[in-house]
Chain A
Amino acid sequence: MATEAEGLSFHPMDQFVVKPLFGDGPISWYTPTNATLWMGLTLLAIVALLVFGTRGRAIIPNRVQSIAEMLYGMIHKMVEDVTGKDGLKYFPFVMTLFCFILFANYLGLLPKSFSTTSQIAVTAVLAVMVFVGVTVLGFVKNGTHFLGLFWVKSAPLALRPVLAVIELISYFVRPVSHSIRLAGNIMAGHAVMKVFAAFGAMLLISPVIGIVVTPLSILGIVGVYALEIMVAIIQAYVFTILTCVYLKDALHPSH
């Protein structure tokens, strides 16, 4: 992809490179990198909204507090609706996931920023956390009854082993789809924007072609950016609601 056709330079994937913040040394596990920076900024943004935004504890909320309460209400309702009352114990965990993904997605939309949620390593950890947590919880809460999740009682007996295999595979594919869906969506949008941006420079190289291509690519960037604003919240929502659905399976495994 590092081709430089006619002077246009395409580096749509450079934005995803993890770099050390200071110097240019090797990256060990503790090195502060751009990933560290943007995770930290995500954390600060969430604290600013949910902690500083609510410090007034007003009965009649101001705007920031309304937004914080809205986020709270949305996820609280989602957890309660999907998993039931007993799932509310895990609400802080779900809220942590949602806030982290939502804010990371939105901060990633800032120019020159680094999208932590576009990294497979990050989303895979999130998905594996959910997967392991839900599986352990399922066995702790229900014992072997949890395996009933794979034994479809409503199906004819002959079909059940087949279905069990399918269910088992789909169960283990969950973390894969869960993580790749998020990272893929965020990465694709950002990369497409970069490609459009590279075409935007066409006017500098060839005025004849550029007069058409440059405005089109700028329009393209605007369109994709608008789409990305939507994708940012939709993917955070999808990740969270799937977490709730998996949690529900762990708490109430009967089909």
Chain B
Amino acid sequence: MFSLLQQAATTAAETDTHAAPANADAAAAAAGHGADATHAAEAAGAAAHATADAGHAAQSAGMPQLDVSTFGNQIFWLLVTLAVLYWVLSKVALPRIDAIISDRQGAITGDLMQAEEFKKKAKDAEAAYGKALADARTEAGKIIAAQKADIQKELDAAVAKADAEISARAAESETRIAAIRDSATADARSVAREVTAELVRAFGGKADDAAIDAAVDARLKGAA
């Protein structure tokens, strides 16, 4: 470090490019300072200023990063910055981002669960619908069968009744036809008797009722 300062001082004295106004003094002071190898803090006001100037000069010669006179300043401001930054991050930014991310995670899992629930509900509804449909089918089948049985019974009863009526009517008609036939036969016989009696009388014979009856009956029997 001291050799650097010395080098800086000589460079500053020679080139006069970048050193601050009090150049020669500074260089001289710095050179003396380097030779004495005394500590910077022990130097008096003017000397301290000169060291700082020599430090400035050192920048054109070596690495400004090694200029110890600025370390305190940088460290102080760095610590201030880091403290503020740490406070802001740990109190505001990071909890907020954490909350946002976990909110999102929660929303996603919530949505997924809801979707799952809806899916289950839909499945249940479908099953219920299927069951209702099947129930309705069997119910309808039952109703149809019952209805069919009823109709069949009514039909049977009606058919039986109709049959009975028809046979009754037929029997009645039969008797009536028989009666008509009988009466027709009787009428034909009486007509035939009278006609026979008249014919016999017309031929001048004597109508014998018994004989006429027998003859008519014999004829009718033959015709029947």
Residues of A at under 8 Å CB distance from B?
A: 1-2, 4, 11, 13-14, 16-18, 24, 26-31, 33, 35-36, 39-40, 42-43, 46-47, 50-51, 54, 57-59, 61, 65, 68-69, 72-73, 91-93, 95-96, 99-100, 116, 118-122, 125-126, 129, 183, 187
Contact = CB atoms under 8 A, between A and B. Distances in A.
Interface of B: 11, 15, 17-18, 20, 48-49, 52, 56, 59-67, 69-82, 84-86, 88-90, 92-94, 96-101, 103-104, 107
Given A43-B85, A69-B101, A93-B86, A51 B76 contact: no
Contacts of B59: 13-14, 16-17
B64 A30 contact: no
Nearest to B94: A92
Contacts of B99: 57
Contacts of B76: 29-30
Contact of A28 (B65, B72, B98, B100): B72
A93 B85 CA distance: 10
Contact of B89 (A95, A116, A122): A95
Nearest to B76: A29
A95 to B, nearest CB: 6
B81 A39 contact: yes
B85 A27 contact: no
16 contacts: A4-B17, A27-B52, A27-B70, A40-B81, A43-B81, A50-B89, A58-B100, A59-B100, A92-B90, A93-B86, A100-B82, A100-B85, A119-B74, A121-B65, A121-B71, A121-B78
B72 A29 contact: yes
A69 B103 CA distance: 13
Contacts of A47: 88, 93
Contact of A31 (B11, B48, B73, B97): B73
Contact of B88 (A17, A51, A93, A129): A51
Given A2-B61, A33-B77, A54-B96, 14 more contacts: A1-B60, A1-B62, A14-B64, A18-B74, A26-B52, A29-B76, A46-B88, A51-B88, A54-B100, A95-B94, A96-B82, A96-B89, A99-B85, A121-B70
Contacts of A116: 74, 78
A122 B74 contact: yes
B85 A120 contact: no
A73 B90 CA distance: 15
A119 B60 contact: no
Given A39-B81, A122-B74, A1 B97 contact: no
Contact of B100 (A35, A40, A57, A91): A57
Contact of B103 (A24, A33, A59, A96): A59
Contacts of A14: 18, 59-60, 64
B77 A35 contact: yes
A26 to B, nearest CB: 5
Which of B49, B56, B107 has the most C-beta atoms of chain A within 10 angstroms of its own C-beta?
Answer: B56
A75 to B, nearest CB: 10
Contacts of A99: 85, 89
Nearest to B92: A51
Given A2-B11, A54-B93, A69-B100, A30 B65 contact: no
B158 to A, nearest CB: 77
B65 A183 contact: yes
B81 A100 contact: yes
Contacts of A121: 65, 70-71, 74-75, 78
B97 A72 contact: yes
Contacts of A24: 20
A33 B73 CA distance: 8
Contacts of B11: 2
Nearest to B65: A120
A29 B73 contact: yes
B17 A119 contact: no
A59 B48 CA distance: 59
Contacts of A129: 82
A95 B94 CA distance: 9
A122 B61 contact: no
Given A13-B63, A40-B81, A57-B99, A18 B17 contact: no
